[in-house]
């Protein structure tokens, strides 16, 4: 790639004909043996921390307090290494019985250790303010972590109750999450491709949602809906059980005032900021209505239906070899900042990327940050689609964010969830902008704009409406709703989301069964809307300020999770509780829609 040094192909894992699989050897080399070795280390550290329990009084010295925190940090680091290996091994093949058994063993083992040191967090949460202030003054990088623990004190139970909940979750919520993964990642779909009917994984089937042929797109969605609707009773009951568990623990036991408030406090985002965000998304849905009307003209789709919202322009289906995709992303990163390009390369140098689709592999994509300065792990299901290139840019952004914050403690290098999407979405913007600037041909530029707007729809409005569905579904399930009633509610919200611009067939009522975040992490999805709209505003600032913006952006990433989102964004002039701020993001989307319309000859 011109202008950057990408290193040897072997070092980047680019010499293989297929996308690479990761090497987990720098986490554990012999899982069974290492589990026992690290468990002994954990046991020793836990016993040492337990010795401080009799001294947890008002006159505890600052030196002893910080020693206890550092010991807790060591325990967290060892635990993170074990749990990361277990989860990554399982994600690589959810059908692998050895991986599943190891994951179960690790979770149970770690929960036993965690329950033994729970007393320290509970003590810290409930000491008086003057005593807490004395410790906070000397807590340095631990400060925000410690403040976060105290922020949750009104929702914390007794030590005995907390232990029971933790034990329950290993065979309750956590087990149901795994069961959902096993069921959904083990599904097989059938689709006629050419002259033969082929068995496909979900990831392979989903590539046909963007196929040039309208018939193929419809057939792919029909098959997708058929398989999920056939499993609706089982998957739907899993969802209802998980929602009731969220309600029983969060509202009944911990006394949060609403289901979403559990997530908001964890994210350190005021309720009013989330309300402003979702209100702005719902109010601006008409921008995407106009986009789909324009897209229907470009793609000659009348009527425009839900089957075709991701249709490619002019029947063209672009395909990008993995090696080319890596080069495109690194070049876009390097143009903005050589620093972030170098950090992104570490994922390839250290063989921490698993991009090859395979049976049983967890669907979608993620980036897993284990420890500060430990190169994160990236999972993709790379099939060569244009969307896969954007996904690569997105997940590498997460990795860069983690490495930029590597000087912080394991307690504070992770940003809170809404800000966790900042570098990932910014990475996608860098890629999209670079491609748009390089392209002079009107039709190809049109295709790039369509791809960018498709992604903005999927990561802003779509995610906001997932959250709207959750608001209603959690209340409905509390009141005894059936799976069919939930599906009807989902369909109604879909039709509101698309308005008259897009017809939504009834079979899409089962789509919610396929959204993992609704099951694993209730109310997670608004973080995508938050992150994308935030980045649109930041990217506009970058375009206005140029190179002077880059150091401020890198400083934001380097803060990690050592401050609240409001505190980190204040120097950039961001007020997350203001609808006007969120509107600025939609103004940029409106400009993109208008630019797209001008490409129609």
Predicted pLDDT at 418: 85
Predicted pLDDT at 601: 65
Predicted pLDDT at 1: 29
CA distance 481 to 488: 11
Long-range contacts of 248-255 (CB under 8 A, 24+ apart): 249/165, 253/157, 253/161, 253/165, 254/155, 254/156, 254/157, 255/154, 255/155
| Residue-by-residue DSSP string for 267-308 | HT--HHHHHHHHHHHHHTHHHHHHHHHHHHHHTT-SS-BGGG
- Per the CB < 8 A criterion, the answer to whether 469 and 492 are in contact is no
Q: Is 196 left (phi over 0), alpha (psi -120 to 50) or beta?
A: beta
CA distance 278 to 357: 34
* Residue that the structure tokens 């921390």 belong to: 49
Q: Which parts of the chain sit beneath pLDDT 70?
A: 1-17, 315-318, 439-440, 601
Predicted pLDDT at 5: 31
Predicted pLDDT at 315: 52
| Other C-beta atoms lying within 10 Å of the C-beta of residue 123 | 16
Predicted pLDDT at 18: 73
CA distance 501 to 518: 26
Kindly give, in sequence order, each residue whose CB lies less than 8 Å from that of residue 374, ignoring residues fewer than 6 positions away: 26
| Other C-beta atoms lying within 10 Å of the C-beta of residue 167 | 14
Could you tell me which of 110, 86, 108 has the C-alpha nearest to residue 98? 86
- Per the CB < 8 A criterion, the answer to whether 11 and 348 are in contact is yes
Domains in the chain and their CATH numbers? 31-181 (1.20.140.70)
Kindly give, in sequence order, each residue whose CB lies less than 8 Å from that of residue 278, ignoring residues fewer than 6 positions away: 464, 467, 468, 526, 529
User: Using H for helix, E for strand and C for coil, what is the string for 322-366?
Assistant: HHHHHHHHHHHHHHHCHHHHHHHHHHHHCCCEECCCCCCCCCCCE
């Amino acid at each position: 790639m011109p202008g950057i040094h990408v290193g040897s192909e072997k070092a980047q894992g680019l010499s293989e004909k297929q996308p690479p699989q990761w090497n987990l050897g720098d986490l554990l080399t012999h899982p069974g043996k290492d589990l026992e070795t690290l468990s002994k280390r954990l046991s020793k550290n836990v016993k040492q921390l337990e010795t401080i329990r009799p001294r947890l009084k008002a006159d505890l010295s600052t030196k002893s307090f910080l020693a206890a925190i550092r010991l807790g940090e060591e325990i967290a680091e060892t635990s993170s290494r074990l749990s990361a290996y277990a989860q990554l091994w399982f994600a690589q093949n959810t059908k692998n019985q050895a991986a599943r058994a190891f994951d179960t063993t690790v979770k149970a083992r770690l929960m036993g250790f965690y329950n033994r040191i729970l007393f320290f967090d509970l003590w810290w949460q409930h000491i008086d303010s003057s005593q807490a202030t004395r410790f906070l003054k000397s807590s340095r990088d631990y400060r925000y972590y410690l403040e976060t623990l105290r922020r949750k004190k009104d929702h914390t139970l007794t030590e005995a109750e907390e232990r029971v909940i933790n034990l329950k979750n290993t065979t309750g919520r956590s087990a149901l999450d795994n069961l959902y993964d096993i069921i959904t990642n083990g599904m097989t779909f059938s689709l006629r491709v050419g002259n033969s009917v082929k068995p496909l994984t979900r990831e392979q089937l989903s590539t046909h949602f963007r196929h040039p042929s309208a018939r193929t797109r419809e057939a792919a969605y029909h098959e997708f809906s058929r398989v999920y609707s056939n499993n609706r009773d089982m998957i739907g009951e899993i969802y209802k059980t998980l929602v009731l568990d969220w309600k029983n623990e969060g509202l009944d036991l911990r006394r949060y005032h609403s289901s979403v408030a559990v997530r908001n406090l964890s994210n350190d985002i005021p309720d009013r900021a989330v309300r402003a965000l979702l209100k702005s998304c719902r109010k601006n849905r008409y921008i995407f209505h106009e986009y789909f009307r324009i897209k229907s003209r470009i793609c000659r789709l009348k009527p425009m239906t839900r089957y075709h919202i991701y249709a490619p322009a002019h029947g063209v289906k672009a395909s990008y070899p993995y090696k080319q995709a890596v080069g495109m992303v690194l070049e876009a990163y390097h143009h903005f900042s050589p620093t972030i390009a170098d950090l992104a390369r570490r994922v390839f140098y250290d063989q921490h990327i698993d991009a090859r689709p395979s049976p049983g592999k967890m669907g979608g994509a993620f980036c897993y940050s284990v420890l500060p300065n430990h190169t994160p792990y990236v999972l993709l299901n790379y099939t060569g689609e244009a969307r896969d290139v954007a996904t690569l840019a997105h997940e590498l952004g997460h990795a860069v964010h983690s490495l930029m914050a590597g000087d912080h403690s394991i307690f504070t290098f992770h940003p809170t969830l809404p800000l966790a999407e900042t570098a990932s979405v910014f990475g996608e913007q860098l890629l999209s902008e670079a491609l748009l600037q390089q392209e002079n041909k009107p039709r190809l530029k049109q295709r790039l704009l369509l791809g960018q707007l498709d992604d903005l729809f999927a990561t802003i409005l779509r995610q906001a409406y997932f959250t709207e569905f959750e608001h209603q579904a959690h209340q409905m399930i509390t009141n005894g709703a059936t799976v069919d009633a939930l599906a009807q509610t989902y369909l109604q919200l879909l039709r509101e989301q698309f308005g008259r611009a897009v017809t939504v067939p009834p079979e899409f009522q089962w789509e919610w069964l396929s959204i993992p975040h609704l099951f694993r992490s209730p109310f997670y999805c608004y973080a995508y809307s938050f992150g994308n709209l935030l980045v649109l505003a930041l990217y506009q600032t970058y375009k206005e300020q140029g190179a002077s913006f880059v150091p401020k952006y890198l400083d934001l990433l380097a803060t990690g999770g050592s401050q609240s989102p409001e505190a980190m964004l204040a120097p950039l002039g961001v007020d997350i509780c203001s609808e006007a701020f969120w509107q600025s993001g939609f103004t940029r989307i409106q400009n993109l829609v208008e630019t797209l319309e001008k490409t129609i000859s």
